[in-house]
């Protein structure tokens, strides 16, 4: 259904990334177009975008042909007629996840309550089996990960478990533009202790370019802070922080640190054994493709495995004793003690399947392609829009970039909305940010060309971009 017209990346650009040389004639360079849409939906062409060079492979096409992960695309259910760039909000369904859910339903049908104890279904240990998969994915020591509920709930659990009530330093450090749930959780936790968030919530501001500077974070760690909750990758800009530098500084200042890794697990390599943070939390519905509202994960460093859970529930019990129904909780070994109630088996089933796909692909390979995709998008944007209109809001350096590329434009809301009407799925964040998340398991380089061409056509059209449609919810 989609035809890719001529590629856009000049040979020099491609070569600078060590990719294939661009085979198009030099006169074709810079021409981009899409045939993804019925002609009636396209604005009248004001320039020469319609030039077809379908007999010449584009750089995107070559990159796709040589992509070692290309076989995974057919493992996913791609929404029909859409080009999807929203895997940082909700990853797509893969066949292994689908099969695992269908199997769990079948087990429920045939085994009913015995699904908990049946040797094969073994729902009773499903959390532990998934935690083992995650330990491999984020290189964490055995028994240091568990899954209970949402990321938000896990943050409450970490605050309740790790915050020292007797410490003179009351402060919880957060990113001044943190994802709202992290802020809400920290504020309500402080309030529950009778502490004043105005005094105890310490915020690190972004710099004038909108980035968090590690040195600012480290300075703030030396104040009245005893705990820090920070994003590994900032949800707006896609900035990847220097986790090692900040974690080391936190330890040097006796500050307990909890990383919110929602935007990194599955796309950015993490080695929690080496990093040694006190805690980490992350959702599993983004790059891990666990499904809408999938059960989140949490990591607790082994040095805290003897702490009592701040929030306790019967599934945090030592497993062999859980059904003795004792009055006193005997906590499980390791992070398992942070579990709460009955695990969400159907949701966990999807996650167990999707993690198999992630492990098949391998995190280093996913990161390699992800960096290529975001660099490719950046090159296309710079080439197509130069300095007019768009500002790239994501750091250029590979070591400072997570899995998505963010671009600012005063008309971002309208552009994003028109893109959606035309079958492209980016996401929009107030007031002027479009986030493009090429998921390395299923996004093609050709998709990057198509979405940038679509944006170019919108900007070149006579459409009134001052009319702001209602906000999209994603
Ligand atoms: C950084 C970050 N933390 C937390 C969440 C969401 O938490 P929850 O799983 O509780 O909805 C998101 C969701 O997008 C996020 O981006």
For ligand 1, mutation pick of 147, 155, 156, 179 (most atoms within 8 Å of CB): 179
Q: According to the model, what pLDDT value does residue 469 have?
A: 64
- 139 CA from centroid of ligand 1 (Å): 22
- 436 CA from centroid of ligand 1 (Å): 17
- In angstroms, the Cα distances linking 93 to 42, 108, 340 are 30, 21, 27
- The answer to whether the CB of 150 is under 6 A from ligand 1 is yes
Last residue of a domain, one of 303, 335, 361: 361
For ligand 1, mutation pick of 147, 150, 181, 297 (most atoms within 8 Å of CB): 181
Helix (H) or strand (E) holding 156: helix 151-162
387 and 348 in a single domain? The answer is no
Residues (pLDDT < 70) of the chain are 1-58, 468-474
- 308 CA from centroid of ligand 1 (Å): 25
Q: According to the model, what pLDDT value does residue 467 have?
A: 75
- The answer to whether the CB of 260 is under 6 A from ligand 1 is yes
268 and 145 in a single domain? The answer is yes
- 82 CA from centroid of ligand 1 (Å): 25
In a domain, 184, yes or no: yes
Last residue of a domain, one of 361, 380, 406: 361
Q: According to the model, what pLDDT value does residue 385 have?
A: 87
3-state class percentages of the chain: helix first, strand second, coil last, to nearest 5: 40, 15, 45
In a domain, 209, yes or no: yes
**Number of helices followed by number of strands (H, E) in the chain:** 14, 13
In a domain, 45, yes or no: yes
- 430 CA from centroid of ligand 1 (Å): 16
- 302 CA from centroid of ligand 1 (Å): 24
- The answer to whether the CB of 235 is under 6 A from ligand 1 is yes
Residue 124 DSSP code: G
Q: According to the model, what pLDDT value does residue 471 have?
A: 55
Q: Residue 175: give its domain's CATH number.
A: 3.40.640.10
- Residues whose CB is less than 8 angstroms from the CB of residue 371 and which lie 6 or more positions away in sequence, other chains included: 398, 401
339 and 411 in a single domain? The answer is no
387 and 245 in a single domain? The answer is no
217 and 71 in a single domain? The answer is no
- 232 CA from centroid of ligand 1 (Å): 12
Q: According to the model, what pLDDT value does residue 214 have?
A: 98
- Residues whose CB is less than 8 angstroms from the CB of residue 368 and which lie 6 or more positions away in sequence, other chains included: none
Which amino acid residue places its CA nearest to atom 8 of ligand 1?
Answer: 151
337 and 395 in a single domain? The answer is no
- The answer to whether the CB of 181 is under 6 A from ligand 1 is yes
In a domain, 353, yes or no: yes
d(CA 378, CA 32): 15
183 and 261 in a single domain? The answer is yes
In a domain, 246, yes or no: yes
In a domain, 3, yes or no: no
- The answer to whether the CB of 62 is under 6 A from ligand 1 is no
Secondary structure, 3-state, 209-225? CCCCCHHHHHHHHCCCE
Q: According to the model, what pLDDT value does residue 468 have?
A: 65
47 and 88 in a single domain? The answer is yes
Interior CA angle at 36 toward 35 and 40, to 5°?
Answer: 75
d(CA 76, CA 400): 29
Atom of ligand 1 nearest to the CA of 89: 14
Last residue of a domain, one of 331, 361, 391: 361
352 and 394 in a single domain? The answer is no
Q: Residue 415: give its domain's CATH number.
A: 3.90.1150.10
142 and 286 in a single domain? The answer is yes
Residue 243 DSSP code: H
356 and 372 in a single domain? The answer is no
In a domain, 103, yes or no: no
Q: According to the model, what pLDDT value does residue 280 have?
A: 98
- The answer to whether the CB of 296 is under 6 A from ligand 1 is yes
Cα-to-chain-centroid distance, residue 359: 16
Q: According to the model, what pLDDT value does residue 381 have?
A: 94
- The answer to whether the CB of 152 is under 6 A from ligand 1 is yes
Domain count, the chain: 2
383 and 243 in a single domain? The answer is no
In a domain, 116, yes or no: no
Tell me: cis bond preceding 431? Omega within 30 of 0 counts. yes
For ligand 1, mutation pick of 235, 285, 296 (most atoms within 8 Å of CB): 235
Q: The domain containing residue 50 runs over which residues?
A: 11-93+363-460
- 288 CA from centroid of ligand 1 (Å): 13
For ligand 1, mutation pick of 147, 240, 280, 283 (most atoms within 8 Å of CB): 283
């Amino acid at each position: 259904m989609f035809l890719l017209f001529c590629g856009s990346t000049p040979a020099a650009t491609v070569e600078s990334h060590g990719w294939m040389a661009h085979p198009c004639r030099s006169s074709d360079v810079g021409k981009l177009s899409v045939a993804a849409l019925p002609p009636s939906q396209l604005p009248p062409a004001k320039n020469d975008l319609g030039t077809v060079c379908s007999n010449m492979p584009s750089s995107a096409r070559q990159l796709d042909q040589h992509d070692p992960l290309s076989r995974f695309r057919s493992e996913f259910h791609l929404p029909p007629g859409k080009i999807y760039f929203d895997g940082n909000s909700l990853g797509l369904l893969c066949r292994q996840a689908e099969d695992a859910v269908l199997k769990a339903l079948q087990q429920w049908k045939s085994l009913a309550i015995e699904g908990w104890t049946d040797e094969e279904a073994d729902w009773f240990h499903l959390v532990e089996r998934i935690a083992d998969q995650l330990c491999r994915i984020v290189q964490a020591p055995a028994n240091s990960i568990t899954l209970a509920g949402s990321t938000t709930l896990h943050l409450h659990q970490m605050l309740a478990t790790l915050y020292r009530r007797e410490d003179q330093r009351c402060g919880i450090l957060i990113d001044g533009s943190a994802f709202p749930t992290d802020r809400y959780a920290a504020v309500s936790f402080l309030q529950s202790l009778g502490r004043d968030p105005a005094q105890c919530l310490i915020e690190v501001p972004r710099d004038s370019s909108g980035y968090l500077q590690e040195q600012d974070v480290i300075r703030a760690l030396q104040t009245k802070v005893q705990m820090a909750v920070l994003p590994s990758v900032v949800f707006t800009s896609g900035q990847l922080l220097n986790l090692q530098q900040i974690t080391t500084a936190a330890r040097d200042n006796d500050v307990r640190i909890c990383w919110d890794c929602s935007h990194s697990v599955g796309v950015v390599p993490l080695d929690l054994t080496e990093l040694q943070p006190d805690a980490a939390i992350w959702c599993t519905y983004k790059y891990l493709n666990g499904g809408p509202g999938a059960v989140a994960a949490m990591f607790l460093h082994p040095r805290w495995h003897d702490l009592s859970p701040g929030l306790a529930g019967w599934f945090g019990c030592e497993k062999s004793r859980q059904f003795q129904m004792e009055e006193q909780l005997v906590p499980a070994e390791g992070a398992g003690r942070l579990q709460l109630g009955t695990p969400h088996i159907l949701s966990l089933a999807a996650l167990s399947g999707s993690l198999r796909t992630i492990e098949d692909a391998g995190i280093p390979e996913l990161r390699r392609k992800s960096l290529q995709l975001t660099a490719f998008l950046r090159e296309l944007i710079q080439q197509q829009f130069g300095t007019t209109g768009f500002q790239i809001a994501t750091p250029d350096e590979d070591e400072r970039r997570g899995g998505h590329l963010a671009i600012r434009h005063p008309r971002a809301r309208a552009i994003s909305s028109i893109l959606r009407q035309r079958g492209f799925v980016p996401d929009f964040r107030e007031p002027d940010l479009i986030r493009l998340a090429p998921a390395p398991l299923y996004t093609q380089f050709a998709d990057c060309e198509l979405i940038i061409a679509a944006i170019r056509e919108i900007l070149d059209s006579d459409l009134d971009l001052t009319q702001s449609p209602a906000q999209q919810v994603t």
